[in-house]
Chain A
């Protein structure tokens, strides 16, 4: 077995340290080592977006990042969005618009939407659809999701 890497990083604003094998993806580290199970594994090859997180301000697929790579970096996951007594406006908009059914794609869509709205607070529908092209949903259909993101943009 390869040497374990010692990684110090910031996750949702808190300093976190962990040991991981080089072959463990960031998604595996989040879920299996840090017990942050919000990010989901869909395809494990970059196609579905269920594992989307924000790494140093950019949206990435955590299944295509190694845990060892995030030393000194900053990660935002779905767990960091809501406040103790209040959902994030994007989460509210997903609920209001019934933009989820089974929910496995939802953390990825919400992180993807957050990355978009952080960069472009007033996107057009076209921009939303284009930005979310890397997130797949097999039950809700995309219209409600797109409407939720547009509503969240309007609400903030």
Chain B
């Protein structure tokens, strides 16, 4: 691997000051499952790796049924799916944490790193968008928050400015009669990159016959993960019928701009957007019904 300096940052302000000072040549190290691979392959030239795992704020995993979830940027996947309350509250996000790599990858890889790496196919991003997550960012000019759907700006590109880092993700407390679901299509059973991913969250009425509101997000069909806004709005205050779900799936297909590559053709991906959007919505609806 190329030579670089390793710094074990102890506070957010220390990490931010280093990032601000070193610029492009410094990268944050969380679980390293992207960064170490990229450094080894020479895909990133970097002189500084700033380890954030000793910083308390990025290790926070705090769920409260009234105030919601604060998910520190360096919390690895296993801590999320090992937490039963979080599994019940945000099953769509948990779906994604369970399919990233295998067990050993999940011991290190985090949701925050998955987001900051900004791969169009990253599995955590569609469920974060579907769950309306907010990014808490710290930088030289203080703190700011942005919705997760504004975070990725291109493949590997984010809204983080020079000196800024992601501190945590914030998710609202789940509402009554709500749930979420994420799934992807891959040719293998495990250990593969999404050909298409779809996440959905729904809030149903008390009778569980109508959708009060829904949010749908797509992965691997555009340079960034997409919030399918129109498709989501089509489901506002709609009776749950195959037609309604089908209309949303069609609207999701309309915003997909997939490419053809070794994993699949654009045509196949567009088809899959329809199939997976329906399954994600039905999966989320079923979860609400199952929880009685």
Q: Does B262 contact A (CB under 8 A)?
A: no
Hey, which chain A residues are within 8 Å of B29, CB to CB? 66, 69
User: Are B33 and A64 interface neighbours, CB within 8 A?
Assistant: yes
| Residue from B1, B3, B107 whose CB has the most chain A CB atoms within 10 Å | B107
Hey, which chain A residues are within 8 Å of B189, CB to CB? 133
User: Are B6 and A58 interface neighbours, CB within 8 A?
Assistant: no
Q: Which chain B residues numbered 1 to 57 have a C-beta less than 8 Å away from chain A? A: 1-6, 8, 29, 31-33, 36-37, 39-41, 49, 51, 53
Q: Does A77 contact B (CB under 8 A)?
A: no
Hey, which chain B residues are within 8 Å of A47, CB to CB? 191
Q: In angstroms, how far is the closest chain B Cβ from the Cβ of A130?
A: 7
Choice from A44, A65, A130 contacting B40 with Cβ under 8 Å: A44
Hey, which chain A residues are within 8 Å of B49, CB to CB? 22, 66
| Residue from A60, A64, A69, A115 whose CB has the most chain B CB atoms within 10 Å | A64
Q: Does B190 contact A (CB under 8 A)?
A: yes
Range of interface residues on A (Cβ < 8 Å): 35 or more
Q: For the complex, what is the distance from the CA of A47 to the CA of B76, rounded to whole Å?
A: 18
The chain B residue with its CB closest to the CB of A21 is B3
User: Are A23 and B2 interface neighbours, CB within 8 A?
Assistant: yes
Q: For the complex, what is the distance from the CA of A59 to the CA of B108, rounded to whole Å?
A: 9
Query: Which of B96-104, B154-162, B281-289 lies at the interface with chain A?
Result: B96-104
The chain B residue with its CB closest to the CB of A119 is B82
Range of interface residues on B (Cβ < 8 Å): 20 to 34
Per-residue contact bits, chain B 63-91, to A (CB 8 Å; 1 contact, 0 not): 00000000000001010000000000000
User: Are A58 and B40 interface neighbours, CB within 8 A?
Assistant: no
Choice from A58, A63, A132 contacting B107 with Cβ under 8 Å: A58
Q: In angstroms, how far is the closest chain A Cβ from the Cβ of B267?
A: 29
Q: For the complex, what is the distance from the CA of A139 to the CA of B32, rounded to whole Å?
A: 30
Hey, which chain B residues are within 8 Å of A65, CB to CB? 32, 36, 108
Per-residue contact bits, chain B 171-184, to A (CB 8 Å; 1 contact, 0 not): 00000000000000
Q: In angstroms, how far is the closest chain B Cβ from the Cβ of A68?
A: 5
Choice from B2, B8, B108 contacting A64 with Cβ under 8 Å: B108
Q: For the complex, what is the distance from the CA of A74 to the CA of B3, rounded to whole Å?
A: 25
Per-residue contact bits, chain A 37-65, to B (CB 8 Å; 1 contact, 0 not): 00000001111010010010011110111
- The 6 A-B residue pairs whose C-beta atoms are closest, nearest first, are A134-B102, A22-B6, A133-B190, A58-B107, A23-B1, A133-B102
Q: A49-B102, A58-B107 are in contact. List 14 more A-B contacts (CB 8 A).
A: A2-B4, A2-B5, A2-B6, A23-B2, A23-B3, A45-B41, A46-B104, A61-B105, A64-B32, A64-B36, A64-B108, A69-B53, A133-B103, A134-B190
A-B contact list, 20 entries, CB within 8 Å: A3-B5, A22-B6, A23-B4, A24-B1, A25-B36, A55-B107, A58-B78, A59-B103, A59-B107, A60-B107, A63-B36, A68-B6, A69-B53, A115-B103, A130-B190, A131-B102, A134-B102, A134-B190, A134-B191, A135-B102
- Residues of chain B having any CB pair with chain A under 8 Å: 1-6, 8, 29, 31-33, 36-37, 39-41, 49, 51, 53, 76, 78, 101-105, 107-108, 189-191
- Residues of chain A having any CB pair with chain B under 8 Å: 1-3, 5, 21-25, 44-47, 49, 52, 55, 58-61, 63-66, 68-69, 71, 112, 115-116, 130-135
